[in-house]
């Protein structure tokens, strides 16, 4: 049976403002002017196999267009996005490329509803249609920007890298810092206070380096190695007040696997957690976080700032017994007024009891959950294929796997949006190596929607890109670093941090 597909203009558009209506109509007219009208030769009984897989995903009402292609050879693709009141129709040779303004209008008009997507492809001279599928548009908007590091997933040597910010409402990406500025430098561990772009920490390693701390847009470069501490500052987390930062101190090494299913093993020979008092320029030490018999790592503060979560594992002989290292999820109280710790360490989730290990505990800004990654052993989850995301309910202490987000490959770093409704996580599900950012929705009932790959203007972007997306973090506005000033500060001595007596 042949199904005619043409240009769609539905009638009930009253709810839209006239301005929006005009934009949509004019765009549709322009777009449809070049579109080929056709009759479908055959309608498949299945939905299309898309890249990226956007079938049934839940998306924010302010996300950039979800351009996609069908994983088949074709000479043209025809896509109709259809809702109760309006539609967008595109036809392209390579991939479905949606115009941004009509897309925004469509999403805005369909918050809390779904979009029907009808896909047809032209092979030789015939058109074939697939079963339509839905994309769910959430009421919840997403933070405006996503920050991440782009780095080749290498071993010891590194080339070009940088920390970038990408507008989630469109496709624009800007560099926050690129290591082209200081030849041979490495940049890592960017962190923001509750998604604020005004408070940021990142490390620039190399001859001209230091920890760059942006507090309320005021920049300082810190020299963080002291005689009394194990290393320079490593993994960061901001205190919600902006007065403190938790960092780890690590003696990290890596070894290389020989068999085909594994590549690299990164491990700590020693690690501690400290808190840095920004105003006083002091490291606050705590015995419970610096034990010789325990590896402590990955600190994070609760949204009220009164609890410090961290991962803790009994030390083993490294690297010989690397598979025996199992990190548990722990917490200790913290007094932000005096910058002091409690005396008791609570174990919130004893992963070692089930032969597993916890990494990257990240409390949701509303305090309801702590999301973490669970692996078989160790703490460098990005190299663990079994790494999956889990949620701990802070009221019940119940731990559940986030099945909707997990895959057969690595899911590792994750961060929350400022309203706790979205989380972004890095996954290697596409090819087992190049990490890509996926975004998922978590509703008020704790139900997670199907995640979607960060949309790109050019669908070949991920194929061509030889970088991984590392440490994806939501930010609510654009980071504004004075690069010439940073360049000058990096050439200077930097501010040496002290240890509180």
Partner 1 sequence: MKNISTNIIASIIFGIIVYLFFTLMYPYHLHYQEQYQLFLITGDYFLSYLQMPGGFSDYMGGFITQFYFYPSVGSIFIAILLVSLQQLTWKISQRFNKTPLYYPLTFIPSLFYWALLCNENYLPGGLVALVIVMMFIYFTTQIKDGILKSVLSLLFVPVLYWLAGGAVVFYVLFSALMILFLSTRRTTQNIFIVVMQVALVISLPYLAKVILIQYPIIKMWIGVNYYSFPNTFPFYVGGIILLSISLPIIMNTLPEIKSKPQLILAIQYLIIISAGIFIINKSSDFDKEEVMAYDFYSRMRQWDKVIAMADQKAPSSPLSVSCLNLALAKKGLLAEQMFNYYQNGTGGLLPNFKKDFTIPMVTGEIYYQLGFINTAQRYTFEAMEALPLYQKSARSIKRLAETNLINGNQALASKYLKLLQKTQFYKKWATAMYKAMEEPQILMRHSEYGQLMTHKIQNDFFFSEGEKDMMLGQLFTANKKNRLVYEYLMAYCLLNKDLNHFMQYLSLGQSIGYKQMPQSFQEAFIYGWKMTPQKDQKPIPSFISNKKIQSANTFLSMMNLPNAKEALKKDYGNTYWYYLQFRN
Residues that bind partner 1 (CB under 8 A): 152, 154-160, 162, 175, 177-178, 180-183, 255-263, 265, 319, 430-434, 458, 463-464, 466, 483-484, 487
Give the shortest CB-152-to-partner 1 separation in angstroms: 6
Nearer to partner 1, 255 or 401 (CB): 255
Minimum distance, C-beta of residue 183 to partner 1, in the bound complex (Å): 6
Secondary structure class of 484 (helix, strand, coil): helix
Nearest-angstrom CA–CA distance, 251 and 26: 61
Contacts of 337 (CB under 8 A, 6+ apart): none
Using an 8 Å Cβ cutoff, are 6 and 37 in contact?
A: yes
Q: Which is nearer to partner 1, 279 or 483 (CB)?
A: 483
- CB of residue 156 to partner 1, shortest distance in Å: 6
Q: Residue 379 burial by CB count (10 A; 0-12/13-18/19+): exposed, middle or buried?
A: buried
Smallest distance, Å, CB 261 to partner 1?
8
Specify the residue, 263 or 495, whose C-beta has the smaller distance to partner 1. Answer: 263
Dihedral angle sign, alpha carbons of residues 440, 443, 448, 449: negative
Residue 474: HSE in the Cβ half-sphere, 13 Å Cα cutoff: 28
Strands 282-284, 498-499: parallel, antiparallel or unpaired by DSSP? parallel
Question: Would you state the structure tokens that stand for residue 147, as one six-digit string?
Answer: 């920050």
Nearest CB to partner 1, comparing residues 136 and 158: 158
Distance separating alpha carbons of residues 461 and 63, to the nearest angstrom: 18
Bridge partners (DSSP) listed for residue 309: 300, 331
Backbone angles phi, psi at 381, to 5 degrees: -70, -20
Q: Least CB distance from residue 180 to partner 1, whole Å?
A: 5
In the numeric block, which tokens belong to residue 185? 């430098």
Q: Which is nearer to partner 1, 4 or 484 (CB)?
A: 484
- Report the nearest approach of partner 1 to the CB of residue 464 (Å): 7
- 13/152 with CB nearer partner 1: 152
Closest CB 263 distance from partner 1, rounded Å: 6
Cβ closest to partner 1, residue 177 vs residue 295: 177
């Amino acid at each position: 049976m042949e199904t005619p597909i043409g240009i769609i203009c539905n009638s009930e558009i009253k709810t839209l403002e006239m301005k929006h209506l005009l934009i949509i109509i004019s765009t549709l007219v322009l777009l449809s002017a070049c579109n080929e009208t056709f009759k479908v030769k055959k309608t498949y009984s299945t939905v299309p196999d898309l890249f990226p897989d956007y079938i049934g995903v839940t998306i924010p009402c302010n996300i950039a267009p979800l351009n996609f292609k069908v994983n088949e050879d074709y000479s043209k693709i025809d896509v109709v996005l259809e809702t109760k009141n309006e539609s967008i129709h595109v036809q392209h040779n390579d991939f479905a490329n949606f115009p941004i303004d009509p897309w925004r209008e469509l999403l805005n008009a369909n918050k809390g509803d779904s979009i029907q997507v009808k896909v047809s492809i032209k092979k030789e001279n015939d058109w074939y249609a697939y079963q339509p599928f839905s994309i769910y548009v959430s009421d919840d908007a997403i933070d405006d920007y996503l920050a991440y590091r782009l780095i080749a997933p290498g071993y010891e040597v590194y080339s070009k890298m940088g920390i970038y910010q990408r507008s989630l409402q469109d496709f624009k990406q800007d560099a926050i810092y690129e290591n082209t500025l200081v030849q041979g430098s490495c940049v890592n561990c960017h962190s923001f206070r509750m998604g604020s772009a005004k408070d940021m920490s990142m490390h620039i390693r190399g001859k001209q380096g230091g920890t760059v701390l942006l507090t309320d847009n005021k920049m300082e470069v810190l020299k963080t190695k002291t005689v009394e501490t194990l290393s320079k500052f490593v993994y960061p987390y901001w205190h919600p007040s902006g007065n403190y930062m938790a960092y780890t101190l690590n003696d990290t090494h890596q070894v290389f696997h020989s068999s085909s299913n594994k590549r690299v093993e990164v491990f700590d020979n020693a690690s501690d957690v400290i808190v840095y008092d920004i105003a006083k320029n002091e490291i606050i030490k705590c015995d419970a976080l610096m034990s010789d018999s325990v590896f402590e790592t990955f600190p994070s503060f609760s949204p009220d700032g009164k609890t410090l979560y961290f991962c803790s594992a009994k030390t083993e002989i490294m690297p010989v017994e690397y598979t025996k290292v199992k990190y548990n999820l722990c917490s200790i109280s913290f007094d932000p007024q005096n910058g002091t710790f409690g005396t008791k360490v609570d174990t919130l989730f004893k992963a070692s009891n089930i032969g597993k290990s916890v990494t990257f505990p990240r409390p949701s800004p509303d305090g309801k959950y702590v999301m973490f990654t669970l692996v078989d052993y160790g703490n460098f989850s990005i190299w663990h294929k079994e790494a999956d995301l889990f949620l701990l309910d802070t009221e019940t202490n119940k731990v559940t796997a986030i099945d909707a987000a997990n895959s057969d490959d690595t899911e590792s770093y994750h961060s929350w949006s400022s309203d706790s409704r979205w989380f972004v996580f890095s996954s290697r599900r596409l090819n087992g190596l190049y990490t890509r950012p996926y975004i998922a929705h978590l509703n008020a009932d704790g139900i997670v929607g199907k995640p979607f790959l960060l949309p790109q203007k050019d669908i070949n972007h991920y194929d061509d890109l030889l970088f991984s997306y590392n440490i994806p973090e939501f930010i609510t506005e654009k980071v504004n670093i004075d690069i010439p000033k940073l360049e000058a500060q990096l050439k200077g001595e930097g501010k040496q941090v002290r240890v509180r007596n």
